[in-house]
Amino acid sequence: MRKQDINDIELGPRQLTFGFENNHSKQQDRLLYSIKRRIETHGQVVLDEFIQYVKEGHEGSEFSILQNIFWLAQELKIHFRVNKQSLDPYHVKKILLENPDQQVEIVTNKSVDDLVFQRTKHFYQKFTGKSSIENDDDQYEFSRLLAEQIRHWESCLNTYNSFAKKPYFPGKEQIDRGLSLIRTISAKLDSFSLINAFYIHRDPIFKLVDDVKMLSEFYTRHLDRWVILTQSIEEFTKNIPELKNKSNIIAAFNKLKKILSTPQPYDRVEDAWELYKKIKIHNDIIVKNKTEQYRMEMLTLLDHMIEKMKNHLKTHKAGPDLRNRYLYSLRMISKNIRNARDIETINRLKSHAQDKFDIYREEVEHNS
């Protein structure tokens, strides 16, 4: 196999016209028949050998044969084995790009017992809410629906997992359990194993469906509020001594923290939000008073710094340029402190003033 042909293999959804799709279906059907016949006569089918065998029968280019074989695998009509391990088409393509001579075995997928197939279809319709399934008796098509469902669940859980790892965010237990189940039911990459796995794990899959639905509703509808609620705990904690002065407010804070710490707070978001609003009214007053008090302290500090600079300039008989430049900087910082809205900004401005003063002293003393 040429490396360029391997690189050009298309995987993923295909946008095909009816005629084009029909033509490729016939080619794939012929290939599938040939694979089954070769297994019956030779016991094993190796990818590169099979491509050459089909090519000798003048059934298309080497790339066309390769592409259709990979599409058969993607449609779960066959699967690949490398070193006795079943692998999906994406991983096989990656392996062949690294080593085109790697032996890849082609294995056909067995049919599921009809009773298991019918019961699994009924189960699928039940948890998806679908009254009918297209290509009702095609086990390969049905297994593709199951594979798509698995990918949807896995994508949702992985998305929510990035949040659930953070403090006060729910769902870690359900997500870990769900991802573990998904790894179990999708461990083998053929239609026979997939349908059977769904049938065997019906009860935990029902639980997984409920978990994904519950987590999706929570993280879709309430994420923005929940972020605010979790951040508020840190903000309110800074003012616990002052909040304790009002028994009803500290009680509300403890209730809020308890709700956020609950493993499954999904039906308590509104309760938590009401508690948050109640606490915030009092916390805002505390923050405002603390900010004003700190502002006055820093303005007093700036006044002393400015007076100290004036005296220092006078002692060293500094020129007007130096006097105007540094005194102006400190006065502007003082003005900005008067307009600052929070303690963090005031503190940053104070540090900036101290840096300015230190730079000024170094410059004056260096030039004296």
- Residue 23: the pLDDT is 58
> pTM higher than 0.85 for the full model?
no
The mean of the pLDDT values for the chain is: 89
pLDDT of 15 higher than 70: no
The most confident of 43-57, 268-282, 311-325, by mean pLDDT: 268-282
CB 188 within 8 A of CB 86: yes
What is the model's pLDDT at position 225?
A: 96
Residues 319-355: tens digit of each pLDDT: 777 777 888 889 999 999 999 999 999 999 999 999 9
What pLDDT does 14 receive?
Answer: 55
Q: How far is CA 82 from the centre of its chain?
A: 30
For the segment 91-104, what is each residue's pLDDT rounded down to a tens digit? 999 999 999 889 99
Q: Which of 272, 333, 274, 276 is nearest to 302 (CA)?
A: 333
So where are the chain's domains? Answer: 3-108, 114-221, 223-368
Low-confidence winner among 136-145, 165-174, 208-217 (lowest mean pLDDT): 136-145
Residue 234 has pLDDT above 60, yes or no: yes
One-letter amino acid for residue 110 of the chain = K
The pLDDT of residue 1 is above 70: yes
The answer to whether 250 touches 213, Cβ cutoff 8 Å, is no
pLDDT band at 188 (very low <50, low <70, confident <90, very high): confident
pLDDT, one tens digit per residue, over 126-167 is 999 887 777 677 888 888 889 899 999 999 999 999 999 999
pLDDT tens across 36-82, in order? Answer: 888 888 888 999 999 988 888 766 788 999 999 999 888 888 888 89
